[in-house]
Amino acid sequence: MRVIGFLLQKEFLQIFRNKGMLPIIFIMPLIQLVILSNAATFDVRNVPFNLQDLDRTSLSENLSEQFTGSGYFQLTGESSTSSQALDVLVGRNADLVLVIPEGFEKELMRGGSAKVQLIINAEDGFSAGVIQGYTNDIITAFNRDLIPQLPGSAVAAPQPDIIVRSSAWYNPELVYVDYMVPGILVILVTLVGLFLSGMNVVREKEIGTIDQINVTPMRRYQFITGKLLPFWIIGLGELTLGLIIARVAFHVPMLGSYWLIYLVAGIYMLVVLGMGLLISTLTDSQQQAMFIAWFFMVIFTLMSGLFTAIESMPHWAQNMTLANPVRHFVDIMRRVMLKGSGIREIAVPLAILTADAALLITLAVNRYRKVSD
């Protein structure tokens, strides 16, 4: 135990003495958490919209006012031909062009219906879908008032109606921040843990101090513990700061138990550090270690379900994510914080993380040899 104590002391001295590294470990991640958590939103607001009113009647004006007054759209200009409309879309001056054809009012009054064209910039298919939804809402509301005034409305029988009453549990306002903060926090903790541990042993190899350690009677488990523990503590410290920010700055609810979060985080950090240590023992230079750590970090981040839903992936990719520890921890954090899940409900991902931790630590300990062969 004493030997580990000396090793810990040395590692902490080295970490806290590295003035270039300190702000990167502690400040940079937290700043990112504060700033970036607000960026991740699929809300579509203030859609720039271009009007092409070729009818110019009171009814067409009434319709376009419904658009401008809806709060979803912001009128940025008017056009009069379809090639103008296209230019507007290409030049990013509008994402929606509402085309009201000539004779719109006349047709409505005569035949009871008339078409309008909605040209939507569908580069971003998801936003395009949302924009279409907004336009449907506006037009449906417009019709509700309009149809009784149209000819022939008297003969129509009242239609049956089904009202879909939707409610979203745990997050009734569908606030993205609540969803993103726990996930981004996981990424940041992982980044710091993986890089610190991944660079550590290989750095001692590069500068030659590892031999000096290896000729001492220090035991393998002492060495590994001494190397892991500082980063484990830093990782959990970082998580704590992040959770405080989540609470104070973002008011993210915490329905579950902090104890459970820390239990999982303790195991999760072992996965991350075990992996970093394994990378460190397998490589010969910091550069190699960094590239490998980088490769996995990018994959883990994008395949974690943090930004896009796992359910949207093809099946083979969904299965791949089972091997991604970040996915499981993001999942657990969100469930515990937002839904108050207990240990029984997160048993499966927790078991996977525990197995990962055992596997990676074992591999790392085995790969680290005081005697090379």
Partner 1 sequence: MSEPVIHTEELTRTFGEFRAVDGISFSVGAGEVFGFLGANGAGKTTAMKMLTGLLLPTSGKATVAGFDVFSETESIKRNIGYMSQRFSLYDDLTARENIRFFGGIYGLSSSIIKEKSEALLSSLDLIAVADSRISDLPLGWKQKLAFSVALLHEPKIVFLDEPTGGVDPLTRRRFWDMIYEAADKGVTVFVTTHYMDEAEYCDRVSIMVNGRIAALDTPMAMKSSFGVTTMDELFIRLVRPTAGDGI
Partner 2 sequence: MKEWSSFVGFVVKEFYHIFRDRRTAAILFGMPVIQLLLFGYAIRNEIQEVKIGIADLSRDAVSQAITDKLLSSGTFVLIKNLQSPAEIEGAFRSGAMSEAIVFEPASGKEIQREGSMDIQVITDGSDPNVSRIVTGYTASVVRDYLSEAATTIGAPKGVVPVPLMMFNPGLKSVYLFVPGLMALILMLVSALMTSISITREKESGTMEVLLVSSLRPIQIIVGKVVPYFLLSFINVVSILVIASLVFGVPCRGSVVLLMAESLLFIITALSLGMFISTITGSQQVAMMISLGGLLLPTILLSGFIFPVASMPLPLQVISNVIPAKWYLIIVRAIMLKGASFAVLWQETLVLAVMTVVLIGASLRNFSERLQ
Eight-class DSSP state of 158:
P
How many positions of this chain bind partner 2 (CB under 8 A)? Answer: 125
Give the integer Cα–Cα distance in Å for 2 and 7: 9
Q: Looking at 52-60, 112-120, 217-225, 290-298, which segment touches partner 1 (CB under 8 A)?
A: 217-225
Residue 27 partner contact from partner 2, partner 1, none using kind-dependent CB cut-offs of 5 to 8 Å: none
The DSSP string of 284-308 is: SSHHHHHHHHHHHHHHHHHTTTSSS
Binding mask 175-214 for partner 1 (x = CB under 8 A): --------------------------------xxx-xxxx
Q: Is 53 helix (H, G, I), strand (E, B) or coil?
A: strand
Selected binder of partner 1 within 59, 116, 218, 363 (CB under 8 A)? 218
Contact flag: residue 334 with partner 2 (CB under 8 A): yes
Residue 218 partner contact from partner 1, partner 2, none using kind-dependent CB cut-offs of 5 to 8 Å: partner 1
Q: Looking at 132-140, 216-224, 262-270, 309-317, which segment touches partner 1 (CB under 8 A)?
A: 216-224
Contact flag: residue 1 with partner 2 (CB under 8 A): no
Give the integer Cα–Cα distance in Å for 249 and 242: 10
**Contact criterion met (CB below 8 Å) for 68 and 75:** yes
Give the integer Cα–Cα distance in Å for 132 and 117: 11
Contact flag: residue 1 with partner 1 (CB under 8 A): no
Give the integer Cα–Cα distance in Å for 285 and 65: 65
Contact flag: residue 43 with partner 2 (CB under 8 A): yes
Kindly tell me which of 113 and 216 has the beta carbon lying closer to partner 1: 216
**Contact criterion met (CB below 8 Å) for 281 and 367:** yes
Interacting positions 196-215 with partner 2 (CB under 8 A): 199, 203
Give the integer Cα–Cα distance in Å for 214 and 219: 9
Give the integer Cα–Cα distance in Å for 240 and 234: 10
Kindly tell me which of 153 and 209 has the beta carbon lying closer to partner 2: 153
Contact flag: residue 167 with partner 1 (CB under 8 A): no
Contact flag: residue 103 with partner 2 (CB under 8 A): no
Give the integer Cα–Cα distance in Å for 211 and 370: 8
Site residues, partner 1 (CB under 8 A)? 2-3, 5-7, 9-10, 13-14, 17-18, 207-209, 211-219, 370-373
